[in-house]
Amino acid sequence: MTVWLHIVAIVLLASLGGALWRVWRGRSQADRMMAAQLIGTSGVAVLIVLAALQDWTLLVVAFALALLAALAAVGFVTSQSPDGAGDPEEAHPPKGWRDRGRNG
């Protein structure tokens, strides 16, 4: 079982490497934020796998990282909305949006 967990940890670390590359070379801020979310998720997964390999004390660190990743996503969404409220649906729609999708 430990060999399997080591393989899972290596795959997750490769995912972390890809996400770091995307943060560095992302096309937009949203693309970079999604990669940062992947880093948080993969980091939590790696810590849980390492906790399974050791004595489960790393779960506290994994939960703290999960909380920080969620707060980072909330902070990003609120910073990207026009009024800072965090709800992009309340923003003014682009010009001509009502003309799309009508059949007549």
Q: In the structure encoding, which two tokens stand for residue 28, read together?
A: 């937009």
Q: Comparing C-alpha atoms, which of 47, 48, 43 is closest to residue 23?
A: 43
Residue 7, pLDDT score: 93
> How many domains does the chain contain in total?
1
In this structure, is residue 98 part of a structural domain? no
Residue 86 lies in a domain: no
What's the angle, vertex CA 36, arms to CA 73 and CA 87, rounded to 5?
Answer: 25
Which residue pairs from 34-39 have beta carbons closer than 8 angstroms and sit at least 24 positions apart in sequence? Answer: 36/69, 36/72, 37/69, 37/72, 37/73, 39/69
- pLDDT at site 69: 87
Give yes or no for residue 102 having a pLDDT over 70: no
Please check whether residue 10 lies inside any domain of the structure. Answer: no
Report yes or no: 19 and 39 within 8 Å, Cβ to Cβ. Answer: yes
End-to-end CA distance of the chain: 62
**Stronger pLDDT, 94 or 54, i.e. the higher one:** 54
Tell me the residue range of the domain where 53 lies: 36-79
More confident residue, 5 or 97: 5
State yes or no: pLDDT of 98 exceeds 90: no
In a domain, 30, yes or no: no
Residue written as token pair 């004390």? 57
Q: What distance lies between CA 22 and its chain's CA centroid? A: 12
Instruction: Please check whether residue 25 lies inside any domain of the structure.
Output: no
Q: Could you tell me if residue 95 is inside a domain? A: no
